[in-house]
Copies of this chain bind each other. A is one copy, B any other.
Amino acid sequence: MITCNGNFAKLRASYLFSEIAARVSSFESGNPDRPPIKLGIGDVTRPLTDAAVQGLHAAADEMARAETFRGYGPEQGYRFLREAIVRRDFASRGAAIDPDEVFVSDGAKCDTGNFQELFAVDTVVAVPDPVYPVYVDTNVMAGRTGTWSNGRYDGLHYMAATPENGFVPPPPDQPVDLLYLCFPNNPTGATATAEQLQAYVDYARDAGALILFDAAYAEFIRDDSIPRSIFELPGAERCAVEFRSFSKTAGFTGLRCAYTVVPRAVAVADGSGGTVPLWDLWMRRQATKFNGASYPIQRAAAEMYGERGSAEIRELSDYYLANATIIRSAMEKLGFPCTGGINSPYVWIDGGRPSWDFFDDLLNRAGVVVTPGAGFGPAGEGFIRISAFNDRDRVEEAMDRISTSLA
């Protein structure tokens, strides 16, 4: 009988969101007149902007006429979009990225999940703790870990983000091959300074390691001294890959569009004493297993780089950042130490008690759903994450409820 990939059995059941759903459901049936406000999940609630909607309509009309119809597009994405990306997201920040180094896709989750396919099974992987589960689970599936115990997988190197290191862990104190980094961080909301990122780049250059830099929340950075892209740091173009997304800032979670930057200068060992350009490997992977992102969606994404679209993105991210400020202020006023919520849509709150206890308090006393930090890894124990992705009036009411019930 055909046998499954045995590594799947090592995966811990995705307990976090199902457990949240179960507790919320139980609360709802006991409190039918008190619908909870959900600030747990990182999904946007504001509609698409005018520029994006206009892009979708224009593309639909093009697809309706033989003269302007587009069939299969380039696996790497349309050049008009890749050029706009380079202009606004990199050239304007002094990062020398070529449009040929940009790969448009249908999601940063897919790209961060698929990228590990390019490496040997015995690659030593470092991940943050707390961590976005995709980095971990995809390496488990690929056989790069042992079994799970106490919230961690054997064989992975965890970089704990703690109050002591300001939630920006230093580079590993041992050799690793592949490092996942995420700044502004999900779930902690922490950002990394140029010096902190440079330390990672220097580490990777010394160790011959590769950094997979998840910058899905870069658009929320307002402090101009904080790098938006790792390619603002010298040397990163030889040791890093960056993932970006239109999901949160342009409201594209339902449209699906993202991109990955793989510089031509990054080389990896070929296992026979030579090296191979990483770009060649990713191009081959994408050309074999992907057929390009949807044309109307790429068209809408490109609209976000025009004058109107850029202003709308700013307005939309300002809206969620103002929510984050309301959340952070309210929680600090109640005496809870907070990280994030500045240059980031997530607020990471030290509850001074086990994560699930604080989750239960907020649900049962205030009718507000948050995310228990322990669900993201052992270093998240004691914390909760509150997401700024909701409508203003819901966020204000949630904070009123929390302030009243915990005061």
Contact = CB atoms under 8 A, between A and B. Distances in A.
A4 interface: yes
Contact of A63 (B48, B289, B290): B48
B271 A4 contact: yes
A22 interface: no
A4 B281 contact: yes
A284 interface: yes
B45 A66 contact: yes
Contacts of A72: 41, 43, 253-254
Contacts of A122: 3
Given A11-B284, A70-B254, A297-B294, A289 B56 contact: no
A120 B270 contact: no
A276 interface: yes
Nearest to A253: B71
Given A107-B290, A138-B288, A297-B294, A117 B71 contact: no
A254 B5 contact: no
A32 interface: no
A150 interface: no
Given A60-B60, A141-B285, A120 B5 contact: yes
Interface of A: 1-6, 8-9, 11, 14, 41, 43-48, 50, 52-53, 56-57, 59-61, 63-66, 69-73, 106-107, 109-110, 113-114, 117-123, 133-134, 137-138, 141, 177-178, 208-210, 251, 253-256, 268-272, 275-276, 278, 281, 284-285, 287-297, 391
Contacts of A106: 106, 256, 291, 293-294
Given A69-B48, A72-B43, A268 B60 contact: no
A66 B44 contact: no
A130 B187 CA distance: 49
A326 B162 CA distance: 70
Contact of A268 (B3, B50, B59): B3
A281 B270 CA distance: 31
